[in-house]
Amino acid sequence: MFLEKNGGEVPKKGWIEVICGSMFSGKTEELIRRLKRAKIARQKVEIFKPKIDIRYSVDEVVSHDENTIHSTPVDTASNILLLVSNVDVVGIDEAQFFDNALVDVCNTLANSGVRVIVAGLDMDFTGKPFGPIPGLLAVAEYVTKVHAICMQCGNLAHYSFRKVASEKLVLLGETQEYEPLCRDCYIKFTEKNKFNNITTE
């Protein structure tokens, strides 16, 4: 991909931006904001999300504040490269649900001059790094960590506490299944659940 400059062609520069944090922290909201600004700038934008995420819509990225932008659902990260053609910006939501090949996909896009904006959970419900997000954080030029508000004490939250009894790594849900907690409250509630011997599915 090239841009015209002084009668010649120069390579178009690409990069990777990662927006991460807990559930309810505004990741998707920020992703949509950046993508809509790119569209206002008359850039060609493509948005992708994992096919398994149908909580709000099959083919739209939807924030908790109900802002939306059209997207293409895909099964695997490699499918993104098959579907992208002559774009300036690629947005990827719920990146934690993709396979680890997403890191190579994003690098390939950025190396070809595409601005790549990725949003996803940096930790799963157990507090461990989630899916390809750690790898993306390592290769990204720009990282934005957003925070929710702890539902117990009101401090900044960066843990997604699962309120239902299930140890499935991927359990799609909203406020009935999860709540954002700060570190202290997350530790307290996790220890409380262990003490009460809560059974899991």
**DSSP 8-state secondary structure symbol assigned to residue 97:** G
- What is the pLDDT of the chain when averaged over all its residues? 84
Which pLDDT band holds residue 177 (cuts at 50, 70, 90)? confident
- CATH placement of domain 8-147: 3.40.50.300
What is the arithmetic mean of pLDDT over 182-194? Answer: 87
Q: Which of 30, 46, 94, 179 is catalytic?
A: 94
Q: What is the 3 state secondary structure string of 107-118? A: HHHHHCCCEEEE
What is the arithmetic mean of pLDDT over 25-47? Answer: 94
CA distance 16 to 156: 26
Residue 55, pLDDT > 90, answer no
Position 91 scores a pLDDT of 96
Which pLDDT band holds residue 105 (cuts at 50, 70, 90)? very high
Q: What length is written for the chain?
A: 201
Q: Could you tell me what percent of the chain has a pLDDT over 90? A: 65
Position 53 scores a pLDDT of 62
State whether the Cα torsion 161-91-75-78 is positive or negative: negative
**Nearest CA-CA partner of 167 in 193, 137, 135, 134:** 193
**Nearest CA-CA partner of 114 in 46, 68, 49, 18:** 46
**Helices and strands of the chain, counted as H and E runs:** 5, 14
Position 1 scores a pLDDT of 44
What is the arithmetic mean of pLDDT over 47-52? Answer: 88
What is the arithmetic mean of pLDDT over 20-38? Answer: 93
Position 167 scores a pLDDT of 66
Which pLDDT band holds residue 100 (cuts at 50, 70, 90)? very high
Which pLDDT band holds residue 198 (cuts at 50, 70, 90)? very low
Residues forming beta bridges with residue 161, ordered by sequence position = 179
Q: Which residues, 6 or more positions from 201, have their beta carbon under 8 angstroms from its beta carbon?
A: 165, 166, 167, 168
Q: Decide if 94 is catalytic.
A: yes
Which pLDDT band holds residue 92 (cuts at 50, 70, 90)? very high
Position 191 scores a pLDDT of 84
Residue 123, pLDDT > 90, answer yes
- Whole-structure pTM value: 0.81
